[in-house]
């Protein structure tokens, strides 16, 4: 399951909107979100104060400012396709080298 981080601030209307968009995406695809309030960490606050909300996956910014359902879904589908392509290439390489593996 994919794990995301949502950086938020106090009294942030865009952060509340982001949570709604994320919840909509979670209805279609299973993923978790860890919410961090940047005011609890001076380094995060200095780095992201003008950008919140910020949605991160593996320390990569997925989207910042205006978080929307479509961008979240496109990111999830893109990363899912990358995993499939990696699996397919690995399976193909294994079969070429004579090690046929069947996954059920």
Strands 31-37 and 2-8: parallel
Residues in the chain, pLDDT under 70: 80-104
CA neighbor of 52 nearest in space, from 99, 102, 85, 5: 5
* pLDDT tens readout for residues 64-88: 999 999 999 999 888 765 544 444 5
**Model pTM?**
0.75
Please, where are the H alpha helices in 40-68? Answer: 42-48
CA neighbor of 5 nearest in space, from 35, 39, 48: 35
């Amino acid at each position: 399951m994919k794990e995301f981080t949502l950086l938020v601030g106090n009294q942030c209307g865009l952060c509340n909107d982001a949570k709604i968009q994320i919840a909509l995406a979670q209805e279609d695809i299973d993923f978790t979100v860890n919410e961090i309030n940047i005011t609890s960490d001076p380094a995060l606050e200095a780095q992201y104060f003008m950008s919140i909300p910020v949605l991160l996956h593996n320390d990569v910014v997925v989207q910042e400012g205006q978080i929307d359902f479509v961008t979240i879904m496109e990111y999830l589908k893109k990363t899912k396709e990358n995993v499939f392509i990696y699996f397919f290439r690995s399976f193909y390489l294994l079969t070429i080298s004579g090690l046929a593996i069947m996954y059920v």
